[in-house]
Structures are given as structure tokens and as C-alpha cells.
Amino acid sequence: MYHHVKKLMFTVRVDEPDPRFGNMLLEQFGGANGELAAAMQYSIQGLNCEDPDRKDLLMDIGTEELSHLEVVGSLARLHLKPMKFDREAAEADPLIAIAGGGGVNLFNSQGSAWTADYLKITGELDVDLRSNIAAEARAKIVYERLINFCDDAGTKDALQFLMTREITHMKAFSRALESMNKPTFSIGRIAPTPGLVDQFFNDSTGSGDNGEIDTRGPWNEGDDWIFTESPALQSSDPGAAASIVAESSPSEPLVGLDDLLIDQLRDILHAEKQLTKALPQMIEAARYDQLCELFTVHLAETEAQIERLDECFELLGKKPRAKACKGMQGLVEEGEEVIKEGARKDDAAADLALIGAAQRVEHYEIAGYTTARNLAQQLRHSAVVALLSKNLAEEENADQLLNQVARSLMSVAKMPAPIEQSFVEDEPAGG
């Protein structure tokens, strides 16, 4: 929650209002590098953050940026105030004077409206922290330029405070990024192509009008760098072999992938058929209506999934013959044990254990469908990919629904009653 305290984080003082400078200040009020953009960027990143420690960091700084917005807004308003009454002052910015009455609004110094397009939010914490470091650096430069264009002492004091806090935030974001212990160039989850990632293309060549020449430095030589002449120049020479290191899908499918895909599909088919026999037992064992209904719906989905698997075999020209899936056999046996043990448990505890068994099954199926779909993609069986993707989406959705039911059950689960202890005073010696 937010709570407004009727006091600025830094008390502003303007001795000589300057409407033109007030217009410049709006860049930090409603501009791309301004305080509102920073407050929204960090706060929304914080809402999305699943890391509780760094979520706290993002919310702390996001909230401080709202305080900075108030300081900048108050400062700008004092500089713009003469526009309310003075024609010459109003000419400095007719939009503010006429449409805004000499007050601040969510516009930058050019009158362009603030937009959420300013925000850099990816949902990847390390990437977002790097964006935040860059945002603070840009804001620092803007404040530095504002200070250089300002003659009012009180305004300069406020701007110096705000500029300094940008460095503080850069420092905090940098330390947070370092504390994640991620390699500097490890971005996302998919690894770059080996070899290609270390190639530096010399794409700007020749001598410039001002004497520019090709240069070398730590950005293109030493360590693992491979300095490569411009690919464009290479391609212009018919006899030159391309030196770009890259990996691509082979024109012909790799030997053995077809058999591997069929093997995976037969394993999944047997797993699903086992599940059609296990789910009715789970439906009967479930005590809460919501869980019972979920299992019932998923039984119908499983039967439809088997039909899609049969269609996959038909598309591949193979018979839909199942192969014994020992993994699912083990999970079904565990589920049967959970049902038996649940007879001695309270309703919520029994159903939570049942959900645990069901989610193990879902995760197993998700892994199987992901592998089969990826193989089908590599083999360019687009129709099979579509069918497997639909089954995979249903399994992932079932897992999420089980999560939701589990959270509901946890809120109603009975907590163990406190143990009552009686204290007896020691009898007097010899009593």
C-alpha cells in the first residue's frame, strides 16, 4: 500500500522562477528518463519478481522514485508559476500556460505525452536490473545538464540531491546483479551458438574522410575473440569460402530421430492409457468437489489426448502400438498408496496428498510431450507438432489448476491443536 506524507523528501526552494527552465524540468517529470518512468518501471518489475529479496529492493527504489517525482513536480511548478499571470512568461510554453494553467502535467519538455512505452520490463530479473542501471545513468546525465543550465541556487541544491540518488540506485542495482552470481554474458536460458558468439565482424572498413582507420582493442582481440573480415566482402568474391561460424538444422533429418520419436510416442500412449484407469480411482478418492471435478475434466482430456496420439501414429504411417511405460506404472502405484493412506487423514490433508501424486504424473507427462514435440519439430512433422502441442498445453493447464486447488485446500487445512501443558508447583521438601 502507499501512504502520502505531506512533506517532500527534499524541501525545494526557488528564489528566481524561470518558466523556460521549468519547461526543461518537465523532462524529468514526464519524459523517457524521468521519475515517473523510473517509479513505474521498478514497481512493475517488483510486482513481477519472484525473488523476495530483490523484489524488496525494486519496491523500495520504485517508491522512492515517486517521492522524487513529487520533488521535481514541485520544483517545476514553482518555476512555471509566472505563466499564470504574465503574458511574456506564458510565451515560453503556450501549451502549459493555456492548456495547463501554468501547472505541471505528464508531458516532457517538448509537450509529448508520457507513455508506458518508456518502460523496460522483460520479466528476466538480471536483464531488468541491467536496464535499471542504464536508466539511472541516463537520468544522472539529464540532471547534470539541468544543473549546468540553472542559475537558481535553491533549484541547484534540489537537483544535486536528485542526481546523487541516481548514483545510489545504480550502486544498489549493480550490487543486486552481482549478488545473483550469474556469468556476465549469460542472458536467458538458451545458450548461444559456440564459435559464432566469439566472432567479431570487421564490418566498417577503409579510411574515413577524417582519417578514421580500422582499430583493434579488447572489444575485438585477445581472450576468445576471432577477428573476421566483413562477411559482405567475402560474399562478393565467388571463390571465397564463408568464414561465419554457425550451426543450422541439417537439410536431411539425423539418422535415428524417426525411430526415437515413435518410441517416445508409444511410451506416452501407454502412460495415458494407464492414466485412464487410475483417474476414476482418484475421482472416487477426492473429497472436495473442486478436486473431483478437476479429475473428471482431465479424464475426458486424457481420452481425447489418446485419440490425438493415434492420429500422430497415422500421420507417421505407424500402428498406434503402446510400449510399456514403467515410469507411469511406478507413479500409478504411488498414487494407489496415497489413496489407501488418505483413508486415515483429514479431508484437506488427504486431498493435498492426492494432488501431490497427480502433479508428479503431470510433470512426467509434460516432460514426455516436450521431448516428443521437439523431435517432431526437428523432423518437420508440423501436423504432429500441432497435435502434441495441444496435449502438452492441456497437461500444463491441469498442473496449474492443481496448484490453485492446493492453495485453496491449504487455507482450510486444520492446524494441529496447541499442546496444553499443566504446571505443578514443587511440593515443599519433606511435605
Joined together, the cell numbers standing for residue 175 give 550490487
Separation CA 12–CA 185 (nearest Å): 42
Neighbours of 378 (CB within 10 A): 16
Phi first, then psi: what are they for 113, rounded to 5°? Answer: -70, 145
Which residues neighbour 274 within 8 Å (Cβ) at sequence distance 6 or greater?
Answer: 325, 328, 329, 332
Which residues neighbour 167 within 8 Å (Cβ) at sequence distance 6 or greater?
Answer: 136, 140
One-letter identity of residue 310: D
| Annotated binding residue 65 | yes
- The closest of 104, 110, 119 to 32, measured between CA atoms, is 119
| Annotated binding residue 56 | yes
Instruction: Say whether 187 sits in a helix, a strand or coil.
Output: coil
CA angle 408, 411, 417 (to 5 degrees): 145
- The closest of 373, 357, 258 to 317, measured between CA atoms, is 258
* 37, 139, 140, 164 from 170: Cα distances, Å: 16, 10, 10, 10
Q: Which long-range contacts (CB under 8 A, 24 or more apart) does 126-134 make?
A: 126/177, 126/180, 126/182, 126/187, 127/187, 127/188, 128/45, 129/54, 129/173, 129/176, 129/177, 129/180, 130/177, 131/41, 132/41, 132/42, 132/45, 132/169, 132/173, 133/170, 133/173, 133/174, 133/177
| Annotated binding residue 124 | no
| Annotated binding residue 337 | no
One-letter identity of residue 195: G
Residue 100 CB burial class (10 angstroms; 0-12, 13-18, ≥19): middle
Separation CA 75–CA 72 (nearest Å): 5
| Annotated binding residue 60 | yes
| Annotated binding residue 395 | no
* Buried-exposed string 193-219: b where 16+ CB fall within 10 A, e elsewhere: eeeeeebeeeeeeeeeeeeeeeeeeee
Joined together, the cell numbers standing for residue 283 give 475421482
| Annotated binding residue 314 | no
Q: Which residues are annotated as a binding site?
A: 35, 56, 60, 65, 68, 136, 169
Q: Which residues are annotated as a binding site for Ca(2+)?
A: 56, 60
Q: Which residues are annotated as a binding site for Mn(2+)?
A: 35, 65, 68, 136, 169
